[in-house]
Amino acid sequence: MRPCSRAGRVLHQGCAGGTAKSALTPGHNHSSSIAQWQITGYLYYTDSMIIQMDALIRVLAQALDMVEIAYIGVNTNHGKRVAVLCAAMGQRLGMGEDELSDLVCCALLHDNALTEFTLLQRGREEDAVYLGTHCEIGQQNAERLPFKGNIAGFIRYHHERADGQGPFLLPEGRYPLGAELIATADMFDANLHLQRITPQGLPALRQDIADDIHRRFTGRAGNALLAVLNEELLESLKDERIVETVNRSLPAWNMAMEDPALVSIGEFIAHIIDYKSSFTRMHTQQIANRIWIMAGHYGYDLTQKIQLYLAAALHDIGKLAVPSEVLEKPGKLNDEEFKIIQSHVVQTRALLSAEKGLGPITEWASNHHEKLDGSGYPLGKTAADLDFNSRLMACIDIYQAVSEERPYHPRRSHAEAMTILNSMAEKGVIDTAIVKDMDEVMEPWSGKEVEGPKV
């Protein structure tokens, strides 16, 4: 059985003990864990079963900005400034709303392959990975998303130059307009740190652009940038105003929660997060795949399965701000390092709660380290605070973490993992009935990677 949901409400009552309890729903083959769940109140409410894709894109952009700060020292909000500049240039060139939406989204996500590219580069100082690989991977990742039009080459060619000296050696006129605009905005902000430019510096800035047309910048992009670059635009790029500016620049984009394309979006998110560390390259994706299977076991409908899948894909997005040397430390973490690791959940909640269009996904993703007995983190929630899906997320996260190879333990079988989970359940740390269900459902996948959803 599944937790009851009606008219967009996800119903909940936290019980004091370690077992979830639920009212029976007619027509469902109820699992023992939910069949005992007693409904007495509401935890989550959404008026319609939609997800605000523009909100989700902004969350990803903020996370990618954190990655850039950690890896390459680009100043805060780089991706957002690139997007705002692209929106202004695109409008100047007469792009329609759908074209602008695709352009701004690609601009926000233009460095989505940074975690993967950096992982490829580790230990290869004398044999640097070709810069075009970063662009190629980023394009492939972005093509998982349900854009409204054709984004071919937008990210693949975002490091090209008008003089043909970019990674793919393509001169002006050989790569698409979207790539021209992103490349221009990217070079412009990365080299000049536009949030620091004062109005007094604007004339020199405009002269620099003019001097670089047909060298770094194409004629179309360079002239469009000259046409839109004024004191008002420059002021809107300041760190204290950039969030407001990018929110205006990205058109509203809603999707029905039952849209199968959202599974591809979840895969895109999980892929970026998992490449933060060589030891977690399948962690997020496997948790999302496992929660999909458990949701099917409980009889969830497609909308509920996709909500949970997205929550699983997003649950570790805060780890993008955690240094890789901490994530991959082979020995025991010291107190300071453990605090840094724990901070990823705080970052996840901060990123997701900043957007109001994600509904219960924020809670389910952010509660994955909370425990029924109050021993979890970061908020020390107890059984009374944790709904069924939060409990399920926590159990699956533990199962995956203890099953996969880590710097401090080898890969474990299903039986070995369940020994750990059963011990935690007996102590009232995690939900006993969910653990029992997982023992049955996950056993066929012992030692194997769980396949992704087929929708």
Band (123; pLDDT cuts 50, 70, 90): low
**Measured on CA atoms in the order 307, 441, 393, 290, is the torsion positive or negative?**
negative
pLDDT of residue 410: 79
Q: Which residue has the higher pLDDT, 7 or 454?
A: 454
* DSSP codes, 405-439: -BTTB----HHHHHHHHHHHHHTTSS-HHHHHHHH
Band (128; pLDDT cuts 50, 70, 90): low
SS3 content of the chain, % helix, strand, coil (to 5): 55, 5, 40
Residue 308 reports pLDDT greater than 50:
yes
Residue 131 reports pLDDT greater than 90:
no
Query: Which range is least confidently modeled, 89-103, 117-131, 383-397?
Result: 117-131
Residue 285 reports pLDDT greater than 60:
yes
Residue 305 reports pLDDT greater than 50:
yes
Burial class (CB in 10 A: 0-12, 13-18, 19+), 113: buried
Band (42; pLDDT cuts 50, 70, 90): very low
State the Cα–Cα distance between residues 312 and 364, nearest whole angstrom: 8
**Average pLDDT over the chain, rounded to whole?**
86
Segment 118-140 shows an average pLDDT of: 77
pLDDT of residue 328: 79
Share of the chain above pLDDT 90, in %: 66
Q: Which domains does the chain have, with CATH numbers?
A: 52-249 (1.10.3210.10), 257-445 (1.10.3210.10)
pLDDT of residue 125: 55
pLDDT of residue 422: 98
Instruction: Give the count of alpha carbons within 13 A of 203, CB side only.
Output: 1
Residue 1 reports pLDDT greater than 80:
no
Distance from the first to the final alpha carbon of the chain:
21
Band (120; pLDDT cuts 50, 70, 90): confident
Query: Which range is least confidently modeled, 37-41, 187-191, 196-200, 241-245?
Result: 37-41
Helix (H, G, I), strand (E, B) or coil at 217: strand
Helix (H, G, I), strand (E, B) or coil at 22: coil
Residue 369 reports pLDDT greater than 80:
yes
Query: Which range is least confidently modeled, 325-339, 353-367, 369-383?
Result: 325-339
Out of 11-20, 41-50, 221-230, 327-336, give the one with best mean pLDDT: 221-230
pLDDT digits (tens, 9 = 90+) for 174-228: 999 999 999 999 999 988 888 888 899 999 999 999 999 999 999 999 999 999 9
pLDDT of residue 66: 82
Q: Judge contact between 369 and 348, C-beta under 8 A.
A: no
Helix (H, G, I), strand (E, B) or coil at 45: strand
What single letter denotes the amino acid at residue 185?
A: A
Could you identify the residue written with the tokens 């996969």? 404
pLDDT of residue 196: 85
The two structure tokens encoding residue 213: 């047309």
Q: Judge contact between 159 and 167, C-beta under 8 A.
A: yes
The two structure tokens encoding residue 298: 């409980």
Band (73; pLDDT cuts 50, 70, 90): low
State the Cα–Cα distance between residues 314 and 299, nearest whole angstrom: 23
Segment 364-393 shows an average pLDDT of: 97
Out of 113-122, 168-177, 188-197, 348-357, give the one with best mean pLDDT: 168-177
pLDDT of residue 70: 67
CB atoms within 10 A of CB 49: 17
Residue 408 reports pLDDT greater than 70:
no
Query: Which range is least confidently modeled, 10-19, 34-43, 243-252, 436-445?
Result: 34-43
State the Cα–Cα distance between residues 379 and 150, nearest whole angstrom: 44
The two structure tokens encoding residue 344: 């990823």
Segment 247-273 shows an average pLDDT of: 92
* CB burial string 119-156: b at 16+ within 10 A, e below: bbeeeeeeeeeeebbbbbbbbebbebbebeeebebbbb
Query: Which range is least confidently modeled, 63-77, 170-184, 362-376?
Result: 63-77
Residue 45 reports pLDDT greater than 70:
no
List the one residue out of 309, 280, 304, 268 whose CA is nearest residue 453. 309
40 backbone dihedrals φ, ψ, rounded to 5°? -135, 0
Q: Which residue has the higher pLDDT, 278 or 228?
A: 228
Share of the chain above pLDDT 70, in %: 86
The two structure tokens encoding residue 265: 């979006």
pLDDT of residue 301: 93
